[in-house]
Amino acid sequence: MYFEHVYEKGLAQASYFIGCQATGEAIVIDPKRDIDTYLQIAERENMRITKIAETHIHADFLSGSRELAQVTGAEILLSDEGREDWQYQFKHTGLKDGDKFKVGNLILEVMHTPGHTPEHISFLLTDGAASTKPIMLFTGDFVFVGDIGRPDLLEKAAGITGTMEKGARQMFQSLKKFKSLPDYVQVWPGHGAGSACGKSLGAVPSTTVGYERIINWALNIDDEDEFVKQLLDGQPEPPKYFAMMKKLNKVGPQILGGIPRPGRMTLNQFKNAVDKKIKIVDTRDKLSFAGGHVPGSLNIQDNASFSTWAGWMLNYNEPFILIAPDHRIEDLTKKLIRIGLDNIYGYLPNMDALANAGNELRTLNQITCSELSNLIEEDNVQIIDVRGLSEYKSGNINGSDNIHVGYINENLDKIEKNKPVVVHCQTGDRSAIAASYLLNQGFDNVINLTGGYTAWVQDCGKNGQKSNVKSETESI
């Protein structure tokens, strides 16, 4: 048997290439949309991808199943569990609980494991050439390392009311199936640390059934009502683009036929696009952006979280321009198409050329913790904490308001225009997004806190300032 774990750090998303070396057949489970990775593995290992499978209709990334099938001719195998509302709407081979299929000498058994979603399935793998005992379980968003999949996304992200508690109770029953498996079975989940599909996912890529019995909080609660309460409590805010991903993955993502290459814009083309009010996404680091940027541009830094924040902040129906160097465009394009943001109008590689041509740039003001302390003493500042609610509740600057950066556009009426507005997150990355958006919305009084809450806490210890913990009702 050949096995390869393919991990995309930006979305903390795992997919799997598993092959039978005797026959040269292979399967890919939960493929990402940029499929070149799997094609390269197949060529390197002299294998043919004959089957493609998914654990569920994904909400956090756009599936590459149709893209991969178009190139390889592989059969797509998808869940036919759940009600009609949870059925895929494109051509596939349907799978039900207990079904088995083969990839060469490999045997995969389908386990219906609802909870995260009603149609969710897992795949139990047996290497038929070596043993009659199962060795691996591919759990998708069912069981993670140290955590389990959240059941509230359908309600919170997709707006399907009444599904949270039902999903939590389904999860409780599904875990009984998991507990019945032998301790030695390896567990390979669909996500790792950093994913919004759970509360506290581990960073280790895999685990075992036996180890999860010991360390996973969800497998150590026997009372169903208590389990439901703890599972639903403290889940992070689901990104807005999750609803779009659900829709597109259900009907079938558009087939691209390769990685698109955005056009490199001349200064004149860029200026014309700006005149047309096309959105600009500046991917430079936050300090470079603060030092000088195109008025109206949005600062989403080119880092591991780029995909997530692009999904939060960009409109799927509007084109946008990237400001990024030539050597980063291919990778940034992949990050965008992984969540279905295909409408890249073009890119500008060099801000220096723009500045040297006499174009006016705008700055984003920064403030230190000591300067903020003075404004607080003068009672002349509004502090906006753009972190998640759970982060805010664990500790915050006294008097601050909590508006998650992804919901800043819905709360503009709660932000002052007649006095300084200081925005902050934990270290400054998310607040750079929020501050750039507020500048674009006419808030000339916005200032970014250098170093974020981390710097504030460190400074508090020196000057006697105190942070505090507020109740949830005090946040916006």
pLDDT digits (tens, 9 = 90+) for 116-172: 999 999 999 999 999 999 999 999 999 999 999 999 987 887 777 778 999 999 999
Neighbours of 28 (CB within 10 A): 31
Residues contacting residue 362 through CB under 8 Å, at least 6 positions apart: 292, 293, 294, 295, 439
User: Which superfamily is assigned to 2-251 in CATH?
Assistant: Ribonuclease Z/Hydroxyacylglutathione hydrolase-like (3.60.15.10)
Token digits of residue 279: 């959105």
Map residue 267 onto helix, strand or coil: helix
Q: Could you tell me which of 395, 456, 393, 394 has the C-alpha nearest to residue 424?
A: 456
CA–CA gap between residue 27 and residue 12 (Å, rounded) = 21
Predicted pLDDT of residue 53: 98
Q: What is the pLDDT of residue 237?
A: 87
What predicted TM-score, i.e. pTM, was given to this entire model?
0.92
Per-residue pLDDT at 467: 61
> How far is residue 169's CA from residue 165's CA, in Å, rounded to a whole number?
6
Say which DSSP state 219 is in: G
- The domain 267-356 is placed in CATH, from the list 3.40.250.10, 3.40.50.20, 2.40.50.140, 3.30.830.10, at 3.40.250.10
- Pairing of β 134-140 and β 298-299: unpaired
Helix (H) or strand (E) holding 447: strand 446-449
At 277-328, the pLDDT tens digits run 999 999 999 999 999 999 999 999 999 999 999 999 999 999 999 999 999 9
Alpha-carbon distance 182 to 137, whole Å?
11
Rounded Cα gap, residues 10 and 37, in angstroms: 15
User: How high is the mean pLDDT in each 10-residue block of the chain (476 residues)?
Assistant: 96 97 98 98 98 97 98 98 88 98 98 96 97 97 96 80 91 98 98 82 93 97 96 89 93 94 95 95 96 96 96 95 97 97 96 86 94 92 95 93 96 95 96 97 95 90 51 38
Phi then psi for 392, rounded to 5 degrees? -60, -45
Q: Which CATH superfamily is domain 366-474 in?
A: Rhodanese-like domain (3.40.250.10)
Domain assignments of the chain as residue spans, ordered by start: 2-251, 267-356, 366-474
Is 366-474 in the same CATH topology as 2-251?
Answer: no
Residue-wise DSSP of 191-216: B-TT-TTSSS--SSS-EEHHHHHHH-
Total length of the chain: 476
Distance CA 277, CA 271 (A): 10
Alpha carbons 75 and 69: distance in angstroms, whole number: 7
Pairwise CA distance, residues 75 & 405, whole Å: 41
Task: Tell me if 137 sits within 8 A of 123, measured CB to CB.
Answer: yes
Q: How many CA atoms lie less than 13 Å away from 300 in the CB half-sphere?
A: 23
87 contact partners, CB below 8 Å, separation of at least 6: 80, 119
- How many angstroms separate the Cα of 361 from the Cα of each of 273, 291, 449? 16, 9, 21
pLDDT (0 to 100) of residue 468: 62
